[in-house]
Amino acid sequence: MPLFARSLTDLTADTLNELSRTTNITKLSPGSKARALLDAINKRLEEAYQVFDLNLTRAFVSSAPGQYLDLIGELLGVTRISGVAASVSSDMEVVKFYVESGTFADINAGSSITIPNGTLISTMANLSGIIYRVTSNVILPSTDSEVFVPVESTMTGNVGNVGAHSLTFHNFRGYSDQVNETLKTTNIHPVANGANLESDANFRFRISNRVLEVEAANEISIKLAALSTPGVADVIIIPRYRGIGTFGLLIESTTPTVSESLIDDVQGRVSLVQGLGTIAHIRRPYEAGMVIRTTVQYHAQTDDATLTNIEYDLDQVIRTYVGELGIGDPFIVNKMVSRMFAVSPNIKNFGVAGTPLEEVYVYTDSRVEDNKMKQRLLGDYEPDFDERVIIEPSVSVPIVFDRTFARR
């Protein structure tokens, strides 16, 4: 919205009126010399007003774009956040090397396997698609069948983010059975913490809250400190978590489970803005792990290859739906089943009449987190405010599909 700009029409009208009132110049119609001079001067004045207006808007946080917003940020000691490459550590248990049967010794003449730093993992064969690199040397013990590894995207920004089970190709050949490609890799959860260069809108928000942030010991400064930690998707602050002088900080990570290293990173950042005499209790949310079994009823003409592909897609739909649930978000059966129906026209029905998911078990942490309790779920699941629904990681196959075929 213009603040001071004036149009050529307004300027011309004012100057014509001024000349007719204060001078003896009478030939002011279009085409006259006086009118031509006025038009030329007023066009330059109009441009000057526009430039002045534009420069003025660049001086306000609410309207300054790009580099002009960066300059305002420098006045307050705030810099735009650079793009971040997607990455996960090994203790986050996301990306793994594994064998489908036996142990690593079976595919390497009885010996352990060393995955060197820089080994590439990709979403497509021949290292096309989205590429990640292993960020440290990792030993695959001969007695194990799977080991999680730390990886980082070779591309900065959210273009490097991938869904679950996308990273399935690698270029490592240093084991005896490499001809048969028996060493496999995959990511069991999405990797979604890659971020583009901070947008103007987000940077404006941080600049606007800089004064409160630098004061420290307030909710905004603590929340911003936690959210600035790579791998954190959101946080929930709970006042007086353990009584007066304490607060709780629940971490929602970009992966379904929150690692100890992420908790430590958040603790370090929060401690820089935490007030004297307050105690922060930083923890992961309680987890409600889902285990699902249902019968998929297909049209009779569906072939085996199509069935396998459909069930793979169904598995991904369920994992994606659950992965999108945040802390306190309910698990709604019908909402998930509606997505499952959209997978293929070859699907006729799920489960039995009135029960699309025949068996759903939920594994919940005890409040002292020393064991898990298993109970059968008969409908939707409404988690507590500090609980997050996930796919149960302790069960090797948490999603199972049985098959039936409709009669012709």
Instruction: Summarize pLDDT for 289-348 with one digit per residue, the tens.
Output: 999 999 999 987 778 888 988 998 999 899 889 988 988 999 999 999 999 999 999 999
Quote the Cα angle for 162-165-168, to 5°: 95
Task: Give the whole-angstrom CA distance, residue 186 versus residue 148.
Answer: 10
* Most distant CA atoms of the chain, gap in Å: 108
Task: Give the whole-angstrom CA distance, residue 13 versus residue 6.
Answer: 11
What is the reported pLDDT for 151?
96
Q: Which two tokens stand for residue 233?
A: 């998707």
What is the reported pLDDT for 1?
47
Task: Give the whole-angstrom CA distance, residue 128 versus residue 406.
Answer: 41
* Ranges of the chain whose pLDDT falls below 70: 1-5, 54-55, 211-217, 276, 367-369, 408
What is the reported pLDDT for 216?
59
What is the reported pLDDT for 63?
77
Q: Which residues contact 273 (CB under 8 A, 6 or more apart)?
A: 213, 216, 217, 221, 222, 225
What is the reported pLDDT for 114?
96
What is the reported pLDDT for 240?
87
Closest CA to 180 of 257, 258, 99, 74: 99
What is the reported pLDDT for 371?
76
Instruction: Summarize pLDDT for 230-262 with one digit per residue, the tens.
Output: 888 889 888 888 888 888 899 988 777 788 888
What is the reported pLDDT for 69?
87
